[in-house]
Amino acid sequence: MAIINQAKKEIQVKIVYYGPAQCGKTTNLEKVHADVETADPAHKDKMVSLATSSDRTLFFDFLPIEAMSIKGYKTKFQLYTVPGQVIYNTTRQLVLRGVDGIVFVADSQYDKMEENVESLANLEDNLKTLRMDIKDIPYVLQYNKQDLPNIAPVEYMEFLLNNREVQVPSFKASAFQSEGVFETLNMITKMLLHKFINQGG
């Protein structure tokens, strides 16, 4: 859960990018890091990637990013990715600890639909292990890789991934081209602010 430090006038929030292997989670963070407008580019926060020698996420990617002040409080967002490969499930549980908001990145290619569905089910299972419920956590869906030719229609992806009592916001994206990346991030931010308001902070 978010950390509120009244002494330092700081709110710290954790957002995790989740999804199947090679769906573009790391690319989302790379594009935020590369393209975000900052007041002071000389002191831009660094992105940390703990990756294998073949550039696959081994542990997590981490990008600290500071946003607007809320009532005089600095808001610091910590963006994480999890490793998508199936064998790293324990690591995914570890990174989910204390999560405030989730961006589920789905791969829009037809042949990745099964992996998307499995990964979303895996997210729900891992949250349960951590005694959290996906219904209580703001999350958004991002249908990534829209620039590729063999993609499934959005309606089909909605049916597979967003077919719930309460649907969540979803975005088409091509993270590689930095399209849809900021829309997704701003929406999860907005949902988190709504949650804080409803909880009185």
Considering only residues 33 to 72 of the shown chain, the ones binding other proteins according to CB under 8 A are 34-37, 45-46, 48, 55-56, 59-60, 62, 64-65, 67-68, 70-71
Cα separation, 79 vs 15, whole angstroms: 5
Q: Which is nearer to other proteins, 159 or 197 (CB)?
A: 197
Q: Rounded to whole angstroms, how far apart are CA atoms 106 and 102?
A: 12
Cβ–Cβ < 8 Å for 165, 156: no
177 binds other proteins (CB under 8 A): yes
Rounded CA separation 69/39 (Å): 13
**For residue 6, which phi and psi values (nearest 5 degrees)?**
-70, -30
What does the alpha-carbon distance between residue 103 and residue 170 come to, in Å, rounded to a whole number? 10
Determine the interface stretch with other proteins among 117-125, 135-143, 151-159, 169-177 (rule: CB under 8 A).
Answer: 169-177
Q: Give least dist CB 99 to other proteins, A.
A: 8
Amino acid in the structure at residue 176:
F
Structure tokens, 71: 């009532």
Which residue ranges make up the site for other proteins (CB under 8 A)?
A: 1, 3-8, 11-12, 14, 22-24, 26-27, 31-32, 34-37, 45-46, 48, 55-56, 59-60, 62, 64-65, 67-68, 70-71, 73, 78, 80, 90-91, 93-95, 97-99, 145, 147-148, 175-178, 181-182, 185-186, 189-190, 193-194, 196-197, 199-201
